[in-house]
Each structure stands twice: as structure tokens, then as C-alpha cells.
Amino acid sequence: MFDSRRPRVLAALCAALAVAMLASCDRGGNAAAESGSSDTPASRSGTKPNIVYVLTDDLAWNLVKYMPHVQEMQKKGTTFSNFFATDSLCCPSRTSILTGQYPHNTGVFTNSGDDGGYRAFLKNGNEKKTFGPSLQRAGYRTGFMGKYLNGYQPGDKNGTDKPYVPSGWDEWDVAGEGYNEYNYELNENGKVVPYGKAPQDYLTDVLSKKATSFIGASAEEKKPFMLEVATFAPHGPYVPAPRDKGKFPGSRIRRPMPMTRRPSTRRNGSAPCHR
């Protein structure tokens, strides 16, 4: 469960995302991007770059040193040295990523309730403002996989007669409650597909295979593509893939004092503040 008052830290690894956001959302802005070369093949030829955007949930930067695959993505991707987070909460931040707008423009201020999460996202018409439709109009093949917004369920119909796919996405493989990595459902292009607890059902691996398939199909069609893969990991309850269990024997997580000690009433009689 999300505590809507608790800041969420979302770490993202991007490949040429600045090009996507500036070109697709038709908005001005300043961003400094660094890569292996400032003069990329796409910029020299004027072609449209392919974009793979991986958004993780609660990935702390001090964990990256244990993740060689993430480090490899970082080396081959684009690093933004000048960037801004519009909000540290999960859903307001995700909505800003999808629309390029601030929370006071999107109307998504928290993770649940009338002013937060998927409900507020829909109520304020944000699905029509995402970069998906804009990139489609620009000739891109678009894909979205993994986590959408808090409160979304794969079977949501949104006024239609069957599970719907938001406009702007050629490939849609999105889960609702995927934090446990097993026993979840995916909306696979309008069809709700249940997954169990077999090793091959591990959600992050399922998303990886679907992402690889999407990229291969896009290459065959010879169309530029934009793919967002939004994992539920490493958000708690911290369920590793079967092959990764026991990889760090003896390692312990150091927790700050407030996480291990219950709040107590102050001597002057005032009540503690619970978060």
C-alpha cells in the first residue's frame, strides 16, 4: 500500500528522452543531456531516434553499484545533468512524465482520492495529453508496459464495453497490483490475462520479454519507436527473481533510527505526528 504523504523517489534511466519530450509535447524547455557524443547519428541524418525509457519504482542511487545491467544501460543511454522533478510523490510525478505538465496543470496532487492517482488522472483529461498520441502522429510506434498509475486496474473499461487501451499506444501491457511480482493480471492490448506464481510469471521478466519483442517487431516494420517500461520493482515487498535469491548472503539493510523506533508522546503531553 502507498502512503500518500510519503515522498516517493523514482529513478529513471533514459535513452534520448529529451528528444521525445520536447518534440512530442510541443513545449519549450531547457534540458542538458550528455551522451557518448553530442553529435549523434540521428542528429546528423535528421532521422527520428528510437527511445527506450525505463522507469523504476523506489530505486535508490546507492543500489546501482550492485546492478551491472543498469550500469550498462547508463553507459549506453543519455544522462541528464540538468533536470527537475515536479513532485516527489509517485502519481503526480508519473503524470508529469506522461504529460510534460506540472501538478497544478494536471490536477494530480497525490496518490489516491479525488485529487490523486488514476481517478484524478482521468477526471482531468490527462490521457489525451500524454506523449503517446503526439508520437503516433509523428510516425512513431508506441508502447507502454508495467505500472501506469495507482488505482488503475487491467479490467477498467472507462465507459466502454470491454477493458480499454488509452489512445496513443500501439502496444499496451499494463498491470494493476504488481508489487508482489506474482499472481497479477495484465491488460494486454485490451485483453485481461492472469499470471500465476510459476518462475516464468515473474512480472519484471515478463515485461522484459515483451519489451524485447516490441523492439524486434518495430525494427521489422522499419518504424521509429518509443517504449516506456515502468517496473514495479524494486518497490517493496522486495521480491527477487528466483535466479537472484541469495545473491548477497550476509548483507543487511541499514535503517535509520525513525524506521526502527516507535514514536512516543513528548513529555509536554503533545501527541506524536504519525506519517
Catalytic residues: 90
List the one residue out of 208, 211, 212, 177 whose CA is nearest residue 195: 177
Residue 4: count of CB within 10 angstroms of its CB: 18
18 vs 220: CA distance, rounded Å: 25
Q: Give the integer Cα–Cα distance in Å for 35 and 30.
A: 17
Non-local (6+) Cβ contacts of 151 within 8 A are 112, 117, 118, 119
Burial class (CB in 10 A: 0-12, 13-18, 19+), 6: exposed
- The three-point CA angle 202-90-165 to 5° equals 60
DSSP characters over 47-103: PPPPEEEEE-SS--GGGGGG-HHHHHHHHHSBEEEE---S-SSHHHHHHHHHHS--H
In angstroms, the CA 243 to CA 38 distance is 38
